Amino acid sequence: MIRMGLMLVLVGLWLLGTGVTGWTANDQGSRLAIVSPTQGAVIKGDSVQVRYKLAKGTEATHIHCYVDGEYQKGFKGVVKGLTRGSHEIKLVAASHDHDALGVEAVVTIEVE
């Protein structure tokens, strides 16, 4: 238990230095972090490339993307059709059966 806590603290400190935001982990070893865009980023245009790091652990096989709570079917790394204003982008680790695993990463961006 102490070893797991220490590992989470060390990973958290490492992520602070890399600019990665919104990371979580679960007991099966899955971890997820959004690399870009960063929290509060200002985007010009109506699309944004979302880069992330997923450590799959024993259950995660892929991620699901949500923009302002709406599932982005067929997400391939780019969110399209964004309107002006603030938007929340959430990535959720999912199993082979598309079950959410409780591992997610969230950023809020501003589109000009």
CB-CB contact of 31 with 55 (8 Å) = yes
d(CA 22, CA 36): 11
Instruction: Give the tens place of pLDDT for each residue, 59-108.
Output: 999 999 999 999 999 999 999 999 999 999 999 999 999 999 999 999 99
pLDDT winner (highest mean) among 1-10, 18-27, 49-58, 82-91: 82-91
Domain annotation covers residue 77: yes
CATH number at residue 99: 2.60.40.10
Full residue range of the structural domain in which residue 50 is found: 20-111
Residue 37 burial (C-beta neighbours within 10 Å; 0-12, 13-18, 19+): buried
Full DSSP string of 60-99 = --EEEEEETTEE-TT--SEE--PPSEEEEEEEEEE-TT--
Q: What tokens were used for 107?
A: 């950023």
> Does residue 7 sit within a domain?
no
User: How many separate domains does the chain show?
Assistant: 1
Confidence (pTM): 0.76
